[in-house]
Structure 1
Amino acid sequence: MGRAKQFDPDVAVERAMQVFWRKGYGATSPQDLVDALGIGKGSLYNAFGSKHALFELALRRYRDEQAVQLIELLERPGPVPVRLREALELLVRMDLDDPDRKGCMAVNAAAELGGVDQVATDLVRRMLERTESAFQALVEEGQRSGQIDPGRDARKLASLLLTTMIGMRLTARTADGPDRLNRVVDALLDSL
C-alpha cells in the first residue's frame, strides 16, 4: 500500500504557477519549484512527471483563473466603452500594483516559448484567440447599439484591441507609473 501524498497537488500547481509567472520557464529551476512547493525532487517528478508537465498545468491554471477575469468583465452588462475602459484600466492597475511586475503569464510565455514549445504556443494561442473573440463580441455589441461606428471592421478592431493589450502588459513591466498606459487607453478608446 502506497503512502498518502504529503502535499496538495492543487496548491502545488498554484505555487508553481507563481514561480513560472515571475521567473519564466527557462529561468525556473527544479530547485526553485522544490523550494516553492515544499516537496522533494522525487515527489515533484512522481506527482507531475517533469518540469514541463508542471508548467503546462500552471499555464492552464493561469488561463482558468487569471485570463478569464478580463473576459468576464467584457461580457457583463453596461455601456461598451465603459466596460472596455474598465477592463483595460483593471489590467493597468493589476500590472502596476504587482510588486514583482510579472505582467501577463500568457504574454510572457509567448515571448519566451512562442514557436519553440508547441504545447505552450498552442495554449497561449487559444487564450489569445478567446480574448480576441471576446473583444470582437464587445465591438459588435457596441456597433449594434450605436456606441461604435458600424462601418468599422469588428474583427480588425478586435485584433487591434488584443495587440494593444499585449503591448500594454509588456510596457507595464517596466513602467514607472500609469501615465503612458493611461494615454494608450485613452487613444485606443478615442480611435473606436
Structure 2
Amino acid sequence: MARPREFDETAAVEKAMHAFWEHGYEATSTQDLCTATGLGRSSVYNTFTSKRALFQRSLAHYTGTQLGKRQAILDGPGTAAERLAAVLDQAVEDDVESRRRGCLVVNTLAELGLPDDEVGAALRNDTERNLAMFAECVREGVLDGSLGDGLDPAAVAEFLLGTISGLRVMARRGTSRDSMHAVADIALKAIVAG
C-alpha cells in the first residue's frame, strides 16, 4: 500500500516556480527543485513525473496569478487610461519587489523560445489572454475618451504588452525604479487622448 502524500502540492509548485523564476528552466537542477520544495527526488518525480511537468505546473501557476492581478486592475474603477497607468505601475513595482527577476514568461521566452509542447501552448495562451484584456481596455478608452480616437485596439495591445516585456528586461539589468516609471509614462502618453 502506497503511503499518502504528506505535503501541500500547491505550495510545492509555488516554491518550484520561484526556483525556475530565479534560475531559468535549464539552470534549475532536480536538486535545486528538491531544495526549494523540501521534497526528496522520488517525491518530486512521483508527484510531478518530470522536471518539465513541474515547470509546466509552475508556469501555469505563475501566469494564472499574474493574469488575475492584471485583470483585477483592468476591471477596476477609473477611466481606461487610469487603469492602464495602474497596470504599467504595477509591472514596475512587481519587478522591483521580485528582486528584479523579471517575468517568468518573458524569461522563458528568451530562454526556450516558443517550444511546440505544453510550455509553448501555455506561453501562447498567456500572450493571447493579455492581448485580449488590453484590447478590450483600449476599446473602452476610445469610448470613454481617455485614449486617443482612432486607436487600433489590437496594435495598442501589442504595444502595451511589448512595453511591459521591455520593463521586465529593464528590471533584470538593474534599471532604476524612476527610469522604469519614466518609460511607462512615455508609453501611456503615446496613447492617451489629448
TM norm. shorter chain > 0.5: yes
In 2, the alpha carbon distance for the partners of 1:74 and 1:63 equals 16
In 2, the alpha carbon distance for the partners of 1:40 and 1:170 equals 34
Aligned twin of 2:131? 132
Report whether the alignment pairs 1:123 with 2:122: yes
Aligned twin of 1:74? 74
1:33-44 equivalences in 2 (<5 Å): 33-44=33-44
| CA offset digits 1:143-167 (Å, max 9, x no partner) | 1111112212111111111111111
Q: Which moved more, 1:61-70 or 1:136-145?
A: 61-70
In 1, the alpha carbon distance for the partners of 2:98 and 2:152 equals 35
In 2, the alpha carbon distance for the partners of 1:89 and 1:103 equals 14
Contact preservation (8 Å) 1:110, 1:120: no
1:52-67 equivalences in 2 (<5 Å): 52-67=52-67
Contact preservation (8 Å) 1:109, 1:120: no
Aligned twin of 1:103? 102
In 2, the alpha carbon distance for the partners of 1:176 and 1:154 equals 29
Aligned twin of 2:22? 22
1:147-162 equivalences in 2 (<5 Å): 147-162=146-161
Query: What's the CA shift for 1:133?
Result: 0.8
Q: Structure 1 residue runs of 4+, over 6 Å off?
A: none
Overall identity of the aligned pairs, in %: 39
Query: What's the CA shift for 1:117?
Result: 5.3
Q: Which moved more, 1:29-38 or 1:68-77?
A: 68-77
For 2:151, give the aligned amino acid.
R
Contact preservation (8 Å) 2:101, 2:171: no
Taking structure 1 as the reference length, the TM-score comes to 0.94
Aligned twin of 1:85? 85
Contact preservation (8 Å) 1:75, 1:134: no
In 1, the alpha carbon distance for the partners of 2:33 and 2:57 equals 13
Say what the alpha-carbon RMSD is for the aligned residues.
Answer: 1.4
Query: Which runs of no fewer than 5 residues in structure 1 stay unpaired?
Result: none
Query: What's the CA shift for 1:56?
Result: 0.4
Contact preservation (8 Å) 1:20, 1:55: yes
In 1, the alpha carbon distance for the partners of 2:14 and 2:180 equals 29
